[in-house]
């Protein structure tokens, strides 16, 4: 069997990682590409009282269960299916339901900490950082949180200044130094999408 190829995609919140991944996948039609969202791997906080859960810092990499992630990536690479956890953001707990995920020749790991852990980086065939200026990311986040999540402008600004910006500068921005390629995503960068999907098709023997 062919070796599993894992691509890690990081970048700040609101940079467009998921949009980029969706476009790459669409352009890689015919190749079985599994996308894993890092968000499902948050630690279960069911042992804490609800108020204590809300005080946790979800913008810090320690909030993610990286050892479970590593175990499951290793299993998938060996061609075995895994039961991926499902995270409930409303209660900050793992749902009882797990989702059976089947191995695929190409796996894309999408999340703000995808390139954070050396152990995870060591199993990647390609690492990508989606790079967007902070002001543009903030505007995208503000639009999303106000229009889709019912937040107030003041609330979004407050959260950005008190935690999001600091955590980004400390834990997310440095991952740019670890990336094989840095994709500018101020505009929809079609050439970058074609390059990455070209590589995926190449791995699959289609190009
Ligand atoms: N090149 C672009 N130009 C303009 N808007 C974009 C672009 N790429 C993505 N967007 C928009 O920006 C917002 C954030 O994009 P997306 O959800 O893909 O980011 P993300 O990096 O996956 O964020 P998160 O870390 O929160 O998952 C979305 O509303 C998306 O439609
Ligand atoms: Mg996303």
Cβ atoms of residues 193 and 135 within 8 Å: no
Arithmetic mean of pLDDT, 37-62? 87
How close is the Cα of 18 to the center of ligand 1, in Å? 7
Report whether pLDDT(54) > 90. Answer: no
- Quick check: is 203 in a domain? no
The span from the CA of 82 to the CA of 75, in Å, is 7
- Quick check: is 158 in a domain? yes
DSSP 38: G
- Quick check: is 27 in a domain? yes
- Quick check: is 42 in a domain? yes
The span from the CA of 131 to the CA of 178, in Å, is 13
What token pair was written down for 99? 């989702």
| Residue located nearest, by CA, to atom 24 of ligand 1 | 13
- Quick check: is 80 in a domain? yes
pLDDT of residue 91: 85
User: Could you list the residue range(s) of the whole structural domain that residue 61 is in?
Assistant: 5-198
pTM above 0.85, yes or no: yes
Residues in the ligand 1 pocket, defined by CB under 6 Å: 11, 13-19, 112, 140, 144, 185, 187-188
CATH label of the domain that carries residue 75: 3.40.50.300
| Residue located nearest, by CA, to atom 11 of ligand 1 | 16
% of the chain exceeding 90 in pLDDT = 84
Number of domains in the chain: 1
- Quick check: is 99 in a domain? yes
Arithmetic mean of pLDDT, 11-40? 97
Arithmetic mean of pLDDT, 144-170? 93
């Amino acid at each position: 069997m062919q070796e599993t190829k894992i691509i890690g995609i990081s970048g700040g919140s609101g940079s467009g990682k998921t949009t980029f991944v969706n476009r790459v996948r669409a352009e890689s039609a015919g190749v079985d590409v599994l996308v894993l969202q890092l968000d499902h791997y948050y630690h279960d906080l069911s042992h804490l009282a609800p108020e204590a859960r809300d005080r946790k810092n979800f913008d810090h990499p320690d909030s993610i269960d990286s050892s479970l992630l590593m175990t499951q990536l290793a299993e998938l690479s060996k061609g075995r299916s895994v039961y991926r956890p499902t995270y409930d953001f409303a209660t900050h707990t793992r749902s009882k339901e797990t989702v059976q995920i089947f191995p695929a020749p190409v796996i894309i790991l999408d999340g703000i900490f995808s390139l954070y852990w050396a152990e995870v980086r060591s199993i990647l065939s390609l690492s990508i950082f989606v790079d967007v200026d902070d002001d543009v990311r903030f505007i995208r986040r503000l639009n999303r949180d106000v229009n889709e999540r019912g937040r107030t402008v003041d609330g979004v600004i407050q959260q950005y200044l008190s935690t999001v910006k600091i955590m980004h500068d400390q834990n997310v921005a440095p991952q740019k130094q670890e990336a094989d390629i840095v994709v500018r995503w101020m505009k929809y960068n079609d050439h970058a999408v074609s390059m990455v999907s070209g590589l995926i098709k190449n791995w699959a023997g289609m190009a």
